[in-house]
Amino acid sequence: MRFIYPSIKSLNMPTKKTTMTDLENEEEVEKVIEEIMSEEEKAKTKVGRLNNTRCYLAGPIDYAQDDGVGWRRNFTEFLNRMGVLPLDPTDKPTTQCKYNEIGAEKQMIDKLVELERWDELRTMAKEIVLVDLRMVEVSDFLVAYVNTEIPMCGTWDEVFESLRQRKPTYVVVEGGKKKMPMWLRGKLNHNFCFSSFAELEAYLEGLHTGIIEPDFTRWVFLDRV
């Protein structure tokens, strides 16, 4: 496909000493354009409290219709705009664990269950648990999606581990506070339970920009890292 050159004006390209005729070939032109677009993307990231923090995304995978991928990908886009690094168990940022538990890997797990290969399943599960809980440990805060109609196990472990470590822990419950399990009511401040991701995003946006004061019994912002 032939590359269509945008105008210099539309790209806000600096004009001094830089013209299309100064560039030797199309590859150099593309490189300049990519650099400009990259800077524009960086400019879209809002500076605030949550820049450079890490957020673990907890929620059902085993019995979720889409393997728990959909909401995580959507929420990742929101986090990226604030400069937050998402830690996603369906897209693990490490080669140490080769299991993301989705797609073909999930089909392989189902096949091992059908064949009753319990030792192999335990080995796989231990690797998954180790890496996912380590991601909880290194996160600055945790966001969880809870649907009481979907069986969950690891999600609860991650949520309670986050609370034990006194990390800021935010839970989106399908159906809102009325659907909170009773045990969760005793462990989590209901003010940090949300009925939708839009509601949670508005809260985090306020926290990020300073409109909302953080819960300093859980939040620790480091000035030098």
Cα–Cα distance between 197 and 180 in angstroms, integer?
16
Question: Would you say residue 36 has pLDDT above 80?
Answer: no
Cα–Cα distance between 29 and 46 in angstroms, integer?
29
Work out the end-to-end distance of the chain between its first and last CA atoms, rounded to an integer number of angstroms.
45
The whole-number pLDDT of residue 2 equals: 41
Q: What is the pLDDT of residues 39-87, one digit of tens each?
A: 555 545 678 999 999 999 999 999 998 999 999 999 999 999 999 999 9
Q: What is the pTM of this model?
A: 0.78
Give percent of the chain above pLDDT 70.
77
Q: What is the pLDDT of residues 193-221, one digit of tens each?
A: 999 999 999 999 999 999 999 999 999 98
Question: Would you say residue 91 has pLDDT above 80?
Answer: yes
| 172, 78, 220, 184: CA torsion to nearest 10 | 10
Pair 68, 61: CB distance under 8 Å: yes
pLDDT band at 93 (very low <50, low <70, confident <90, very high): confident
The residues spanned by each domain of the chain are 54-93+136-209
The whole-number pLDDT of residue 223 equals: 77
Q: Can you tell me the mean pLDDT for 136-148?
A: 97
CATH of domain 54-93+136-209: 3.40.50.450
Cα–Cα distance between 91 and 67 in angstroms, integer?
11
